[in-house]
Structure 1
Amino acid sequence: MIERRLHGSVLEHLQQFPAVALLGPRQAGKTTLAEMIRADKPDSVYLDLESPADRAKLIDPESYLARFEDELVILDEVQRVPELFQPLRGLIDRARRRGVANGRFLLLGSASGDLLRQSGESLAGRIAYLELPPFQVSEIEQGLHDQLWVRGGFPDSFLASGDRQSQIWRRNLISTYLERDIPSYGTRVPAETLLRFWTMLAHNQAGLLNVSQLARNLMLDTKTVNRYLDLLSDLFLVRRLLPWHANVGKRLVKAPRTFIRDSGLVHALLSIGTLDDLLGHPVVGGSWEGFVVENLLNAAPFNTAAGFYRTGGGAEIDLVMEVPGAGLWAVEIKRGVEARPRRGFYRACEDLQPDKRFMVYPGSDRYSIGDGVEAIGLSLLVSDLLATAT
């Protein structure tokens, strides 16, 4: 069993809030983490809302759940029953009046948009939100980081007995999303079209989003392409990194960059099975950059503002983060062990004047490379970010 970094944070938030929503993609480990928490609370109740039998118990949710006022209730795939949030509010408020304040409900969800809106309207001030991504470098020993990059962080993929078995699992996950999960959210998207769209995003990993070009390639209108992108973002499968806006008097790139959030899904979509296959593939640079960005943003403290900086003149920073209490960080991402930042990175730093300047490379040390820039391994920079939150 791999200890999840979010475990302690979930327990801390349950002590502070009546309800905690644990969000993340399907198969990222939310249920396993909930079972670990449940092991410390043997009287807790678990309901899987994808199960007709468990949903039937909630025909009258207030009467059923009122029986467990002194126990933790875990509701899995809670976005399947949106009408549940209003009764939860009544249960929480009644329990508060009786002195049972916090730690009442742990809600697990694999789609963010509707769940955040529905729960925010009904449970404002009563709920905290945490996101559980697939495994990250902070949870895996250093010697397995290349395996994590190639296979991605979904537990069943990362822990598979071999690369082939891992790739088969990821392909099946993609098929499950296309054929079952996405249609279940009421979205009528042809599976073949969505797979082509998803694959195009994989080829363009870490690149600028060009909706018009995607629409032409798919023979769709731009409104439909944006709807597909919103859907994959809502399911925690795609990240849009927005441009960093700064008043520098220069023409800035306005299009976001897109990343498939799990590197293993990138490789499955492109039929990349092994590290050797990946190192010889044109997507290797974009894949590494997405892997680094995802790990850094998942390690960044709450309320960190992030984006990328690029001007029409070629000044560019791969990742800009305004870290609460630690200032502005500029991050250049390079795959080569002996790589150096590009000239555009230094020009961008002249524009933004960041407090810290890093170049992430695939090593395990940190050292100065001059001009205020520190070369640093990914796990070390992740540790720096985690330290700012303590």
Structure 2
Amino acid sequence: MIKKRNLFKYINDDLKEKMVFLDGPRQVGKTTLAQQIGEEQYKKYSYLNWDNLQDKKRIINSQFEPDAKLIVFDEIHKYAKWKNYVKGEWDKNKKKYDILVTGSARLDLYRHGGDSLMGRYHYYRLHPFSLAEVLEIDNKIQVKNDLVFVDAKNLRKTFDDLFVYGGFPEPFLKENKRTLRRFHNERQSRLIKEDIRDVELVRDLSALEILATILPEKVGSLLSLNSLREDLQVTHKTVAHWMDILERFYYHYRIYPHAASTIKSLRREPKMFLWDWSQVKNEGSRLENIVASHLLKFSHILHDSEGFDVELKFLRDIEGREVDFLITVNKKPWFAVEVKTSNKKATKHLKYFKEKMNIPFVYQVVASTGIDFVQNDIRVISVEKFLTALF
């Protein structure tokens, strides 16, 4: 079963006016999405993968199928001159065909070459499946307004499947623990020994793989590079470089504390989460990770498709008060989210930050099903229902 991704309509519309760059984690469904667009929206399209030797020759020689109206370049960021190449193809042939570029690393960072692509492309990040996407809930988000939650058929079952198998298409759609274990092993190995090796200079790939192996234990806590440096017996500069590489290749992401004049904010260490939350063994940390990933997807889609300055942050002051997540618009609070595995009573930290920072909407998201009430102007709500309001 191939589900239509919620970026389909945005990318299809944008291809009519500019190139589209689509990146995201390995095996998240970029190729499938690109081919769906080609098959459903174009009479003929051409798919070329830089990792394929024959396709590589065709790319270098600019040999495309006759009458193709869409050219898909996959993993072309591994070509040192890729930026100037796609710019040249676009400038020369934009009236002949549309161009979609996909990759498993951040294409906005891998811009080798001297000429600029500015103004020639729209940029999207494809995330793993989310609850609303799987259930085909078409939310009409009103930025700065309260979220709108819905009841849907198979809501808890769908959440439980996402929680266990993650949102990557292969293990999620198969719902099989053996498939999940093999997916974890193969994805991490290929990410480091193929994708990263092809474009990054890393002398000790085995140590980088060890770093990737220990990161799931760090999910949700303040990330200390010094602690990682000691674990790996490498320099601070080296571990910082490795963390940046893994982030560029969508293994993990970091969110940073929000700075506000009304509180004495902690402005140093970020919190770290994985793109594949199913790798996190601790269920409390995994719950926080799945909510973080849904919120990150929410902020990315609003930014990439609508142009809103939406960011995902967290709150922590020097006295140790903390709230897990804060969504901001134009650097100002929109809503805050605290995630709890068992506590159904509204937390005092949420109340404190709401009043101190004048946060319009606050939610306490709990693991238990069937919860939805307001206490002290804080909405306490089950995780599966909360996630229906996002993308």
What TM-score do you get using the length of structure 1 for normalisation? 0.85
- Counterparts of 1:1-390 in structure 2 under 5 Å? 1-17=2-18, 19-40=19-40, 41-61=42-62, 64=63, 71-95=69-93, 100=95, 104-112=98-106, 115-118=109-112, 121-141=115-135, 142=155, 143-160=157-174, 162-267=176-281, 283-300=282-299, 301-302=302-303, 303-323=309-329, 328-336=334-342, 338-362=343-367, 367-386=372-391
Distance 1:227 1:166, change over 3 A: same
TM-superposed CA distance for 1:176, in Å, is 1.7
Percent of aligned positions with the same letter in both sequences?
Answer: 26
Would the alpha carbon gap of residues 88 and 183 (structure 1) be closer, same or farther in structure 2, given more than 3 Å must change? Answer: closer
Output one character per residue of 1:173-229: Cα deviation in whole Å (capped at 9) or x when no partner.
Answer: 112223322222233253432232123221111110111111011111110110110
Change (3 A) 1:348 1:36: same
The structure-2 alpha-carbon separation of the partners of 1:8 and 1:187, relative to structure 1 and needing over 3 Å to count, comes to same
Unaligned runs of 5+ in 1: 268-282
Contact 1:333–1:360, Cα closer than 8 Å, also in 2: yes
3-state DSSP class of the match of 1:233?
helix
Contact preservation (8 Å) 2:246, 2:252: yes
How far apart, CA to CA, are the structure 1 residues paired with 2:381 and 2:330? 21
Question: Hey, what's the Cα distance between the residues in 1 that align with 2:83 and 2:219?
Answer: 37
1:302-326 CA-to-partner distances (Å, cap 9, x unmatched) read 1212211101212211101114799
Residue-by-residue CA offset, 1:81-110 (whole Å, 9 max, x unaligned): 2413223323323345xxx28x61000111
Q: CA deviation at 1:365?
A: 5.4
2:389 aligns to what SS in structure 1? Answer: helix
Structure 2 distance, partners of 1:325, 1:193, is 37
CA distance in structure 2 between the partners assigned to 1:12 and 1:114 by the alignment: 20
Give the AA of the match of 1:72: L
Task: Using the TM superposition, give the Cα deviation of residue 50 of structure 1 relative to its aligned residue in structure 2, in angstroms.
Answer: 0.6
Change (3 A) 1:253 1:87: closer
Query: Which structure carries more helix by proportion?
Result: 1
SS in 2 for 1:169: helix
Give 1:79 shift: 0.8
- Aligned residue identity for 1:199: T
* 1:259-290 deviation per Cα after TM superposition (whole angstroms, max 9, x unaligned): 112112334xxxxxxxxxxxxxxx22111101
CA distance in 2, matches of 1:115, 1:68: 32
TM-score by length of 2: 0.85
- Aligned-partner SS, 1:242: strand
Structure 2 spans left out of the alignment, 5+ residues: 136-154, 304-308
Contact 1:332 1:341 in 2 (8 A): no
Give, in whole Å, the separation in 2 of the partners of 1:120 and 1:250: 42
Alpha carbons of 1:192 and 1:341: their partners in 2 closer, same or farther (altered >3 Å)? farther
Equivalent residues, number: 362
User: Cα gap change, 1:348/1:161 in structure 2, threshold over 3 Å: closer, same or farther?
Assistant: closer
What residue is the counterpart of 1:271 in the other structure?
A: none
Question: How far did 1:343 drift?
Answer: 2.1
Query: Is the 2:327–2:336 contact (alpha carbons within 8 Å) kept by the matching residues of 1?
Result: yes
**Per-residue deviation at 1:48?**
0.9
